[in-house]
Chain A
Amino acid sequence: MTADGVYVYAVIRARRRLPTGVGGVGSPAAPLRTIEQGRVAAVVSEAPPKLRARRRDLLAHQDLLLRLSDQGPVLPMRFGTVAPDEETVRGQLTAGEADHLAALEHLSDGVEVNIKAFPAQNALRSLLADDRKLRRLRDEALRRPGYEANLRLGEAVAAALESRAAEAGRGLLSELTPRARAVASGPEVQGCVLNMSFLVDRGDSDDFRSAAEQFAETHSERVELRLAGPLPCYSFVSAEGTRVRTVGA
């Protein structure tokens, strides 16, 4: 073991083979291995010295987790998790074996789909057509042009675009939630009116995405969606910091 510790990528079931052709964080990419303990295993590599959230390392972390989750259930660790040594990892796996197994069971065949909603940018015409207050502000800005009037108008437009997008986001949420096994709100992202992750069955993820895309098309004058997934279940492995809502069951 080096002094820099053990970088932990994920917890998986024991006796799974690691994907080939994938490396870990660091440059050159650290070789991957597993630490098995009972019925679970941690996927690890040596932690590189001075690890930071570099693009290369983030990609390595993400790529490995994508590959692992393609092959079976995986509990992804948050980026940058480093254990002091292998003994600590073994101790944790032993202590947490039952919980890990339960979580792996819960997530089996599940994938995360993340949807971010942003205000539609090219909808000024429909916005003005719909909103009398905005038309009045605009008329004022034209009658008595000036910095103040333009600022008032622009601010109102920005607020209206955001509120229309947020409303559409709520519609999207209620439309997609019944299709998901669980829903978790994501961290706040600047400019984003909705950041939501859905736990869906792997087999349903195409249909789920289509439904979201359909919604985006129908509401393109209100909201712009960015979809990511199927992803490893980042948002469904930890109660900490997330509000996970199990759907249906």
Chain B
Amino acid sequence: MPTTTYSDEVVACPPRAGTLYDVLELILDRGMVIDVFARVSLVGIEILKVDVRIVVASVDTYLRFAEACNRLDLEHDSGSTTVPELFSGKAAKSIGKRKVREAAESVGDTVRKAVGGRDDDADEPDEDEEEQQERPRKRRAPARGGTSRRRPVEA
């Protein structure tokens, strides 16, 4: 049963062998080369090598890092709570939340201005665009579980 044997072996192997992406540059740029054999043109192959997960040195990346750092800093200064506690969630909901929130909003403002974004209502920098757009409406009529948790802080 060739097919079965094959897939069995493949299942045992590839998590170890890595994904195709992980070995792509080896398949394309390593391996034996023999002069009398030609090699097909691989024009355009670079596209395959781009990996969105990888940090690319760019303005966008820098601003993203800066934003994350500024946020971290705020959590740091927001009272007696330690950073890990803030990140673990429980403490963050009560202690120093207001301060964090206010500061986060001002930074959100700054960052958005800095990157030439919209001038609308400030928001936590880590919320995605969709949420930002919905924000003003939610303010007036908080309905969803996710945001209602934050209500008292804003009030």
What is A's interface to B at a CB cutoff of 8 Å?
A: 5, 8, 11, 19-22, 51-53, 55, 58-59, 61-63, 66-67, 70, 75-84, 88-89, 91-92, 96, 112, 114, 116, 118-119, 121, 124-125, 128, 134, 138-139, 141-142, 145-147, 149-151, 153-155, 157-158, 161-162, 186-187, 189-192, 195, 197, 209, 226-231, 234-235, 237-238, 240-242
Residues of A with C-beta under 8 A to B9: 67, 70
Q: Is B36 an interface residue (CB 8 A)?
A: yes
Q: How many residues of B contact A (CB 8 A)?
A: 59
Q: Is B10 an interface residue (CB 8 A)?
A: yes
CB <8 Å contact, A235 and B25? no
What is B's interface to A at a CB cutoff of 8 Å?
A: 2-3, 5-6, 9-10, 13, 16-20, 22-34, 36-40, 42, 45, 48-51, 54-57, 59, 61-70, 72-73, 83, 107, 110-111, 114-115
Tell me the minimal C-beta distance from B123 to chain A in angstroms: 16
CB <8 Å contact, B63 and A238? no
Residues of B with C-beta under 8 A to A61: 27
Q: Which chain B residue lies CB-closest to A209?
A: B16
Residues of B with C-beta under 8 A to A142: 70, 73, 107
Residues of B with C-beta under 8 A to A153: 62, 65-66, 69-70
Query: Top 6 closest A-B pairs, CB basis?
Result: A228-B18, A154-B62, A21-B2, A191-B54, A78-B31, A154-B66
Residues of B with C-beta under 8 A to A53: 28, 40, 42, 45, 48
* Residue among B10, B23, B31 facing the most chain A CB atoms (10 A cut-off): B31
Quick one: which of B19, B29, B114 contacts A78, CB cutoff 8 A?
B29
- The distance in angstroms between the C-alpha atoms of A174 and B54, with both chains bound, is 25
